[in-house]
């Protein structure tokens, strides 16, 4: 039987007792509603699906309960009686009582019902909006994740492509550099081997020349003093040992190259082993050398250099005037007698074109260390003072005769100065400063530049 159905008994009806029960039930229902809506009242753990239920399932369950319980009206209530005779009277009385109670209770339940209906509609709309928002967020999240994946994939692809292109470029550059290095190494090796072969051929040629001259000298030993034969046949080896290697001489002579730029016929008087002739050829400058030593001329020929065995004055006298556009004389004037030197300078001025240069380099007698070593070479006559050579060139007609000093002595070979510090007293510093000034003067006299040059312009 339905709990909401009121059973009609045969006993006498007590209206007051019935009204009291109705009031108690109304108060009980009202208290239960207040308790369920009060924020401090705890909800039983299983009312939302149990402790382990998810939020979505719990929310769906609560919404189903609310949606089915919002109408408080009891439409199933029915007044009846099983008594055959008194039942009609009892039903009629109870209907009258029910009508009175309903007129009292219905306004309250009607307002509550309307409130519950509105609340349910709001909850339903809220739930729908929640679902829509959840779906939108999920869609947006999926779209964002996909875009991130696409961006990462694209960036990775572009990065891989860029790295691949850079690797290919680097590999191509490395390959090209390897080819260039290989070509340069091969070219340098060929150059070195060619130079070595030329040197070997030159030395073989020189050895043959020396052997031939020694043999000729031995055949004529009665007519020529032995000392002359020995000196004449070994001067090349002497210069190789005491003057320095050809490479060292070429490095030093390169400083004179600017005076002969764009020239086509430069005369190297006393060309020796042909260092300066080789410099001229390497820079596409026409040059010819003369020397009285047949061994030196043979060596120059072995290096495909243009050189003639001749005395300087004899060669110059045979030339046309103003036929040369440059004259170079290195380590020669110290071998000459004064009158020969004066005549040589006059012929140089006569055969040189106007505006062209003559460069004469020789030993610096103002340096004690240079002067001491001067007589190592027994063919040296006398050193020429810089002022003397400058005067002779001006007297021969050259203008702008300029002095330049070369070949400084290394600092290790010079006298050392005393270091002066701030801890020293003023008197001590003054004494040491004077001492160092004297040391500098001594260095300039004892260890001055070993060579000098006079550059004249016609």
Q: Where on the phi/psi map is residue 152: left (φ > 0), alpha (ψ -120 to 50), or beta?
A: alpha
> How far apart (Å, rounded) are the C-alpha atoms in residues 229 and 233?
6
Task: Confirm whether 349 is domain-assigned.
Answer: yes
The DSSP-derived string for 18-63 is HHHHHHHHHHHHHHHHHHHH-TTSPPPTTTTT-TT--HHHHHHHHH
Task: Confirm whether 374 is domain-assigned.
Answer: yes
Q: What percent of the chain has pLDDT over 70?
A: 67
> How far apart (Å, rounded) are the C-alpha atoms in residues 298 and 307?
9
- Share the mean pLDDT of the chain: 77
Residue 39 has pLDDT above 70, yes or no: no
Taking only the tens place, the pLDDT of each residue in 158-182 is 667 778 777 778 878 888 888 888 7
> How far apart (Å, rounded) are the C-alpha atoms in residues 198 and 208?
15
Taking only the tens place, the pLDDT of each residue in 318-341 is 999 999 999 999 999 999 999 999
Task: Confirm whether 276 is domain-assigned.
Answer: yes
Residue 238 has pLDDT above 70, yes or no: no
The residue that leads in pLDDT, 304 or 67, is 304
Of 420, 449, 414, 425, residue with least CA distance to 435 = 420
Residue 237 has pLDDT above 60, yes or no: no
Residue 109 has pLDDT above 50, yes or no: yes
What is the per-residue pLDDT for 348?
96
Task: Confirm whether 328 is domain-assigned.
Answer: yes
Task: Confirm whether 317 is domain-assigned.
Answer: yes
The tokens for 139 are 């869609």
Burial 337-358 (b: 16+ CB within 10 A, else e): eeeebebbbbbbbbbbeeebbb
Number of domains in the chain: 1
Task: Confirm whether 294 is domain-assigned.
Answer: yes
Angle of helix 87-219 relative to helix 55-68, nearest 10 degrees?
160
Residue 392 belongs to domain spanning: 225-409+449-457
Q: How many CB atoms lie within 10 A of CB 121?
A: 12
Task: Confirm whether 190 is domain-assigned.
Answer: no
CATH number at residue 234: 3.40.50.150
Say which residue the tokens 């009258």 belong to.
Answer: 96
> How far apart (Å, rounded) are the C-alpha atoms in residues 62 and 40?
19
| Mean pLDDT of the 88-97 span | 72
Sorting pLDDT into bands at 50, 70 and 90, what band is 399? confident
Residue 302 has pLDDT above 60, yes or no: yes
What is the per-residue pLDDT for 130?
76
| Mean pLDDT of the 280-295 span | 93
Taking only the tens place, the pLDDT of each residue in 422-443 is 888 888 888 888 888 888 888 8
């Amino acid at each position: 039987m339905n709990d909401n159905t009121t059973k009609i008994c045969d006993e006498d009806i007590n209206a007051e007792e019935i009204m009291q029960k109705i009031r108690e039930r109304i108060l009980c229902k009202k208290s239960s509603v207040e308790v369920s809506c009060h924020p401090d009242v705890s909800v039983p753990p299983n009312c939302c699906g149990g402790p382990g239920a998810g939020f979505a399932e719990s929310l769906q369950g609560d919404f189903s309960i609310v949606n089915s319980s919002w109408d408080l009206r009891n439409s199933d209530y029915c007044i009846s009686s099983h008594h055959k005779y008194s039942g009609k009277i009892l039903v009629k009385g109870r209907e009258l009582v029910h009508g009175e109670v309903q007129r009292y209770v219905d306004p309250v339940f009607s307002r509550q019902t309307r409130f519950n209906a509105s609340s349910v509609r709001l909850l339903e709309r809220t739930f729908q909006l929640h679902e829509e928002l959840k779906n939108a967020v999920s869609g947006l999240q999926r779209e964002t994740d996909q875009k991130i994946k696409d961006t990462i994939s694209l960036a990775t692809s572009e990065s891989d492509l860029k790295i691949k292109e850079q690797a290919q470029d680097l590999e191509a550059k490395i390959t090209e550099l390897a080819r260039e290095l290989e070509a340069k190494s091969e070219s340098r090796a060929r150059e070195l081997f060619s130079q070595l072969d030329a040197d070997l051929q030159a030395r073989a040629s020189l050895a043959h020349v020396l052997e031939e001259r020694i043999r000729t000298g031995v055949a004529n030993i009665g007519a020529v003093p032995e000392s002359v034969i020995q000196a004449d046949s070994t001067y090349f080896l002497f210069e190789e040992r005491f003057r320095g290697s050809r490479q060292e001489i070429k490095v030093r002579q390169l400083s004179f190259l600017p005076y002969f730029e764009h020239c086509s016929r430069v005369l190297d008087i006393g060309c020796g082993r042909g260092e300066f002739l080789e410099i001229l050829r390497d820079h596409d400058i026409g040059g010819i050398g003369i020397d009285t030593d047949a061994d030196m001329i043979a060596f120059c020929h072995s290096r495909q250099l243009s050189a003639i065995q001749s005395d300087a004055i004899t060669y110059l006298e045979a030339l046309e005037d103003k036929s040369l556009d440059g004259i170079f004389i290195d380590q020669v004037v110290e071998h000459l007698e004064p009158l020969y030197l004066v005549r040589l300078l006059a012929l140089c001025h006569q055969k040189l074109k106007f505006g062209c240069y003559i460069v004469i380099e020789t030993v610096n007698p103002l340096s004690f260390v240079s002067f001491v070593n001067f007589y190592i070479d027994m063919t040296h006559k006398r050193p020429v003072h810089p002022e003397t050579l400058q005067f002779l060139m001006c007297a021969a007609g050259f203008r702008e005769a300029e002095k330049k000093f070369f070949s400084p002595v290394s600092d290790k070979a010079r006298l050392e100065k005393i270091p002066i510090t701030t801890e020293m007293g003023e008197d001590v510093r003054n004494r040491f400063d004077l001492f160092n000034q004297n040391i500098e003067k001594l260095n300039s006299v004892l260890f001055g530049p070993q060579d000098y040059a006079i550059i004249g312009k016609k």
